[in-house]
Amino acid sequence: MNNAKILIIEDDTAIADLLSYGLTEEGFQTRSASNGAAGMSELQQFHPDLLLLDWMLPDQSGLDICKKATADYNIPIFMITAKSDITDKILGLEFGADDYITKPFDLREVVARIRTILRRFEQANQRDKNGLKKEVIRFNNVEINVGERYVRKNSQTVELTPKEYDLLMALVRNPGRTFTRSELLDMVWGYHFAGDTRTVDTHIQRLRKKLDRTECIATVFGIGYKFKKKED
């Protein structure tokens, strides 16, 4: 984990240098970019294990970078933001970020959170390597390849963000079980998440739309959600 590669996209030179120095001292490999365009280029060339991303960049929003990165790369994203409003933080997480921290921050907390994110991501990948590569889950016209982490509907790939995929798997793995929104937050976003249950509702709506299967992910009014598998 200490040899993990971290890409820092941050336009404040002092903050970028601080992060790069501190993370390098902790054994990580780092590269930095000062804007979105340079960051996307580095993302393609450097192949980082984690993206440390500033919300406000000079050429584009960090949210746009977050959206592109989650669509094209299977890597965790840790956002740095000067925005303290909870709505803004939830928005970042809904765009695919795995965690966030507000400025000013303590470098030790950044390192601790990065280690936690990488540990969880590594554990998930290890489970895939230990026998899940050939596991395929099918329901109706939807197919989930567990090891490869891709979803198809009518043989067409469905583009899901990492959190959308994890949420789908939490439900699919437990057909018939009703989860509260808080339980799903803990399972998918982890205990560091400081948002509210609206995040779950938003992701459920997106899953239903992308899968075109509103009847499979059922709302249990006053409680939460459950997966109802209907065999073909």
Q: Which residues pair with 79 in a beta bridge?
A: 53, 100
Q: Look at residue 232 in the predicted model and tell me its pLDDT.
A: 38
Strands (E) in 56-178, as ranges, are: 77-81, 99-102, 136-139, 142-145, 150-153, 156-158
pTM of the model: 0.64
What class, spelled out in words, does domain 5-129 have in CATH?
A: alpha beta
Phi, psi of 60 (to 5 degrees): -165, 165
Mean of the pLDDT values across residues 37-53? 93
Q: From CA 40, how far away is CA 102, in angstroms rounded?
A: 23
Q: Look at residue 30 in the predicted model and tell me its pLDDT.
A: 96
Q: From CA 114, how far away is CA 12, in angstroms rounded?
A: 20
Q: Look at residue 141 in the predicted model and tell me its pLDDT.
A: 84
Q: Which of 20, 28, 26, 75 is nearest to 50 (CA)?
A: 75
CATH architecture of 133-227: Orthogonal Bundle (1.10)
Which of 144-148, 155-159, 197-201, 222-226 is predicted most confidently? 222-226
pLDDT exceeds 60 at position 76 = yes
Domain ranges of the chain: 5-129, 133-227
The dihedral built from the CA positions of residue 197, 199, 201 and 207, taken in this order, carries a sign that is negative
Strands (E) in 96-139, as ranges, are: 99-102, 136-139
Given a contact cutoff of 8 angstroms between Cβ atoms, the answer to whether 113 and 99 are in contact is: yes
Q: From CA 130, how far away is CA 83, in angstroms rounded?
A: 40
Q: Cα separations (Å) of 25 from 3, 18, 29, 84?
A: 11, 11, 9, 29
Given a contact cutoff of 8 angstroms between Cβ atoms, the answer to whether 227 and 216 are in contact is: yes
What pairing do the DSSP bridges indicate for beta strands 217-220 and 224-227? antiparallel
Phi, psi of 177 (to 5 degrees): -85, 135
- If DSSP codes are grouped into helix, strand and coil, which group holds residue 226? strand
Mean of the pLDDT values across residues 93-113? 86
Q: Which residues pair with 30 in a beta bridge?
A: 6
Q: How confident is the model at residue 124 (pLDDT cuts 50, 70, 90)?
A: low
The dihedral built from the CA positions of residue 80, 84, 90 and 91, taken in this order, carries a sign that is negative
Q: From CA 229, how far away is CA 213, in angstroms rounded?
A: 10
- If DSSP codes are grouped into helix, strand and coil, which group holds residue 195? coil
Mean of the pLDDT values across residues 212-231? 82
**Residue owning tokens 């043989």:** 155
